Structure 1
Amino acid sequence: MASAWWFEELSSKLKTIGFKPFHTDLCIFKDEKLGILLIIYVDDILIAAKAKADGDLVVYQLEAFFDLKNLGEVSEFLGYRVIRNLNHNQIFLCQEKYCKKILLKYADPDVKPVTTPWLLKAKIPSKWEPILDLKRKKKYLKYTGSLNYLSSGTRPDITYTVNKLSG
C-alpha cells in the first residue's frame, strides 16, 4: 500500500514540473521540452538528460517536494552495470555480477563454458517436464526463472534455450 501511495505522490509531483508518463510504461516519464527521461523503480529514479545541468534542474525541482539522496553518475541500476562511453555517445548494460550470482547459487563447480547453450538438433517432447522430486523441482524453477530474467535483459542469445527448458 505504501509503495502505491508513493508512486501516486511522485507521479503527481512529476506532472507539476512538466513530466508525462509513457502510455506503454507508466514508470517512465518524459519532459518533452527538455528531452529528459526518468525511469522509476519503487524509490529509485534514474535521470537521463542530454546535459548535466538539465538533470541537476530536475533533482533541484524534486528536492522541493522530497528528501532525496543523489548517488551521482549511474554505475549500477537494478542489478545492471551501466557503462558509458561519452566520446561515442554509447551506453552498455552488463549483468556479469548477476551471472556470477546464478553460477554460485545453482551451477556445478566443475561447469565449463560452451559456445552455444543448446544443441541445435536436440528435441524435447512438447509435454516435457523434468522428473524431479518437489525440492529439486523448486530449485529447477528458480534456476530457469533466473535465466529467464537474464535472457530478457542482456542475454537474448539464451532466450530460445531458456524457453525450451521452461516448458
Structure 2
Amino acid sequence: MEITPTALPEVLVIRPRIFRDDRGSFWETWNERTIAEAGLPAEWKQDNTSVSKKNVVRGIHYQILQPQGKLVRAAAGRILDVAVDLRRSSPNFGKHIAVELSGDDSAMLWIPVGFGHAFVALTDDARVAYKVTDYYSPAGERTILWNDPQIGIDWPVRADEAIVSAKDADGKRLADAEVFA
C-alpha cells in the first residue's frame, strides 16, 4: 500500500497495490500491519456501507461525542470525498480537501478525529464502505451545511441538482457549529 499525505497532512490517501490479469484483479483493502506501521488506528468499532445515486450529497458529518476517525473507500462507482478540518486550534481550521475515490482503483481516504466528512456520488450506484474508530452516537452527531460558503467546497453538482437529506439541508454553518477545540 502507498500512503500519501494530502494538503491537510493528517488526511491521507491510501492506495493498494492492484494485481490485474486476464481474469480480473485482486488487492488488499485492509492490512492491519501496514496501517499500524503508518501510525493509523488498527482497531475499528464499525464497518458501514452506503449506496447513493448520482448527485446525492451526504454530509458534512462528524461526532462531538465519541468522535470517529474514518477510513473511506468507494467499493463501486465514483465519489468526490471531502474532509474538513473542524479543530479550532488548527492552522487549517475550516479548510478542506477533496479526493475522487473510485471502485476501480480502490484508493482510500483516512479522515482522522477532528475532521468532518462529506461526499457526492458522481455515478449511479456509488457504494461507499468505511471503517470507523468509535461507535455511532446519535447524541454526538453534528452536521455542517454541505455548501457553506465559508468552507467553499467546489462541488461538481449544482445546488438545484444536489439530492440532500432533510438533516443535511438543515446543517449549521461553520460559524455557528459546535466543533472541536
**Structure showing the higher strand proportion among its residues:** 2
**Structure showing the higher helix proportion among its residues:** 1
Computing the radius of gyration over CA atoms, which structure comes out larger, 1 or 2? Answer: 1
| Superposition TM-score tier, normalisation by shorter sequence | under 0.3
TM-score (norm 2): 0.23
TM-score (norm 1): 0.24
User: Which structure exhibits the higher relative contact order, with contacts defined as CA atoms closer than 8 Å and separated by 6 or more residues?
Assistant: 2
